Structure 1
Amino acid sequence: MKHLLLKITALFLLVVSCNSNDLEPAPKAMEIDMSDFFVYTDTSTDIMSKATDSKDKRRNCHTMINLNRLLDENPGLEKKMYAIEYQTRKFIASKKPSGTPGGGPFGGNEDPDPEPSVPYDGTINIPVVVNIIERFPGEVSDIQIDSQIDILNEDFNNANPNTSGAPDNFKDLVADYNITFHRADVIRKVSSKNSWGTRDAMKSSKKGGIDATDPAHNLNIWVCEIGGGILGYAQFPGGPAKTDGVVIGIDYFGETDGDYGDGRTATHEIGHWLNLRHIWGDGGCSVDDFVDDTPVSDGPNYRCPGETTNCGTIDMTMNYMDYVYDKCMYMFTIGQNLRSRALFASDGYRSSFVNAY
């Protein structure tokens, strides 16, 4: 009997051994390097002061200062933005032969979501609700509104005519975002208020402004007098839903006059809404904008500069996320497009804008 049991045991071990040899090793979870990620930026540096200390008016975007404020007011926002960045990097890594080595989210190295992300490669249609707070009826004309929508469709479909002048070292990096914007609604309100500031008062009916319209399915743009020489500001993915969208000064919305009258302030701010940082990363040469194909720089460029070199590389001054005049910015990069596309994947923060996968 004992010999029989030994034979049965040996046979069982042999079968298990053979079957285990046939099994492929379990796939290793994708590791994503998050060691360089940051949310707070030092807005007290000369980078910000340069925008107002010159005799000629320079582009002044308030987005990063707004982000710092929201982080202070919302204790969970930093963790939420970390998760969005992790999903973004995982999405980008999935487009490459292998992931990037490093630590995972919040100290671990396991993929928190083993389900694969489903990308969306078709045209993204974004309804735009234009919330206008004007000092008198018709201060912002329908022609001005339509011109802004047309400009956005040019810029996010690589149809800006100035793109043909891209220098040789950047021309192969120009991206077509394949995003179509259309005017969903225009909401107007007359107010005698001369300046709305940057604390989102224009986004609240209780404070005299206009509440956001279904921000999960609409891009809300508030057009009003901001004040302080600020052209506009945006909210990054992850912020409070009730304030999600971008704010544009009346004089910089659509086709108007001046160096910032070609509607590119909206393009720049919507770039932030699509999770893009400023081209120089809002820091020195050791700080990046989290995009592989944009050169490192230590600050913004203004006016229409010629070839500019900083941090040992030639600046991409014509990128929509720099601070140059409207007529001199005309491109997003392939890397920027990939970063923004992650938002519309099945597990992306703005996947609600896509009807089906």
Structure 2
Amino acid sequence: MQRRVAAALSLLAALTWLAATACACSSRAGGRDDAAAWDRHITLQGRRRSLLSFSGRRCGAVLPPADVLQRVEFSAAAHAAKEAARVASGGSQAPRVFNIPTFVYNVVSNDGTERGFVSDAGLKLQIAEMNKAYATAVTPDGVEGTSAARAKITWNFSLQNITRIKAGDMCDSAVEKTVKAASRKGGRGALNLYITDLSACGLLGYSTWPWELEPKAGKPNALIMDGVVIHFETLPKGTYKPFNMGRTCIHETGHWMGLYHVFQNGCSKGGDQVDDTPYQSAPTEGCPKSRDSCPQPGTDPFWNFMDYTDDKCMKGFTPLQHQRMATFWAQHRGRR
């Protein structure tokens, strides 16, 4: 028993050291123009966006500066190691179920065109796709399983209600603040999902990050702004092919839960901070049969929900992505 506890404590030391060094990571972490060669950023309609998004998946999630990420990863590694020590000393590791109250807002244009409107059935279909996606657990070689069998984690997005709001363009940050301030419901663990027209800012979706809820993050009104915003044509049966199977909402919610893109940091040490997603040098476009862009073991996880592939090519999260989400939930969303 003492040896197992000692091993777990050693793991704590190693993980915290790795977290502190791994995030000397990305020069693109703050959304600055010293980004990777394949990625440059501009400001459009008051929002930072990747030039890559003009030709592929348009994700508006912008990472904070590297020093913030270093603190985030250090804290996450310490939490994971303490949990490992607890289990090693005889603590329970029972399957975990996370029930996430989900509030959906369909924000339609107030100019009389009803631009952005989605039927209740269409919105409910997106939530159903979310629950299917978050029940996946795919191994690094692409073999599918279930979260219960592989990660012992179950996520349940429980639709609470659907609210329709007439407003201006949510690409305008002032409009976004007004809409969210007037509508957001629930605590840290409630997903507030805004479905609207994002074509003006050229995005398919964007999300806040879980660690932004902490006072030390320095984000004013963090709880009010917390949530996920999705372009309405990306929902299942939407018109924006090849991104019209609901995967954008799944992808952005992954950020909301604490996941990076699988190509985070490219082939550099640390990658996306998840050990069972092989290193990947850059985003994937289209739907390749195979891809191997880094010298490290394993082929690119282009099938992962956190890449940029076509919706039809995305099929799962990995067990350790589920574990990472659970860690961030315990740290930032599972408490008041």
Deviation at 1:296, TM superposition (A): 0.9
User: Are positions 1:241 and 2:227 aligned together?
Assistant: no
Alignment partner, residue 273 of structure 1: 256
- Output the CA distance in 2 between the equivalents of 1:331 and 1:302: 17
Identity of aligned residues (%): 24
Aligned residues: 286
Provide the residue aligned with 1:50 in structure 2: 52
Query: Gaps spanning 5+ residues in structure 1: where?
Result: 1-25, 72-76, 99-116
Partner of 1:92: 80
TM-score, length of structure 1 as denominator length: 0.70
Counterpart secondary structure, 1:314: coil
- The match for 1:224 is 196
TM-score (ref. length: structure 2): 0.74
Matching residue within 253, 262, 266 for 2:235: 253
Q: Secondary structure at the match of 2:171?
A: coil
Unaligned runs of 5+ in 2: 40-49, 213-221
**Partner of 2:157: helix, strand, or coil?**
strand
User: Distance between the aligned counterparts of 2:100 and 2:287, measured in 1?
Assistant: 31
Root-mean-square deviation (Å): 3.4
After superposition, the C-alpha distances for 1:179-199 in whole angstroms (9 at most, x for unaligned) are 0111112221123x3x42274
Instruction: Indicate the SS of the match to 1:309.
Output: coil
1:124-183: CA deviations, max 9, x gaps?
Answer: 111111122102299211011110110001001129xxx7xx8x8231787454101111
Q: Determine which of 136, 146, 150 is the counterpart of 1:158.
A: 136
Mark the CA change 1:173 to 1:158 in structure 2 (over 3 Å): closer, same or farther.
Answer: closer
Output the CA distance in 2 between the equivalents of 1:210 and 1:132.
Answer: 14
Work out whether 1:299 is the aligned partner of 2:282.
yes
Q: Deviations over 1:269-316 (max 9, x none)?
A: 010011000001154544510001111111100111121111124111
Name the CA shift for 1:209/1:190 in 2 (closer, same or farther; >3 Å). farther
* 2:335 match: secondary structure: helix
Instruction: Name the counterpart of 1:74.
Output: none
Partner of residue 61, structure 2? 63
Which structure carries more strand by proportion?
Answer: 2
Name the CA shift for 1:289/1:212 in 2 (closer, same or farther; >3 Å).
same
Tell whether 2:161 aligns with 1:185.
Answer: yes
Asked if 1 retains the 8 angstrom alpha-carbon contact of 2:251 and 2:306, the reply is: yes
Counterpart of 2:290, as a letter, is: E
| TM-superposition CA deviations, 1:311-335 (whole Å, max 9, x none) | 1241110000000111110110111
Q: What does residue range 1-357 of structure 1 map to in structure 2 within 5 Å?
A: 30-31=12-13, 32-33=16-17, 34-37=20-23, 40-44=29-33, 45=35, 46-47=38-39, 48-52=50-54, 54=55, 58-64=56-62, 67-68=63-64, 84-94=72-82, 121-135=95-109, 136=114, 139-158=117-136, 169-171=141-143, 175=147, 177-191=153-167, 193=168, 195-197=169-171, 199=173, 201-205=175-179, 210-226=182-198, 227-239=200-212, 240-257=222-239, 258-283=241-266, 285-286=268-269, 288-312=271-295, 313-345=298-330, 348-352=331-335
Distance in 2 between residues matched to 1:84 and 1:59, nearest whole Å: 26
Question: Structure 2: how far apart are the matches of 1:133 and 1:50?
Answer: 26
| Whole-Å separation in 1 of the counterparts to 2:244 and 2:118 | 13
After superposition, the Cα gap between the structure-2 partners of 1:286 and 1:89, relative to the gap in structure 1 and judged at 3 Å, is closer
> CA distance change for structure 1 residues 210 and 78 in 2, over 3 Å: closer, same or farther?
farther
Conserved 8 A contact 1:130-1:223 = yes
The 1:268/1:43 distance shift into structure 2, 3 A limit, reads farther
Contact 2:116 2:195 in 1 (8 A): no
Q: Which has the larger radius of gyration?
A: 1
Contact 2:291 2:300 in 1 (8 A): yes
CA distance in 2, matches of 1:119, 1:62: 36
- Structure 2 CA distance, aligned partners of 1:88 and 1:275? 10
Q: What CA distance in whole angstroms lies between the structure 2 residues aligned with 1:299 and 1:210?
A: 38
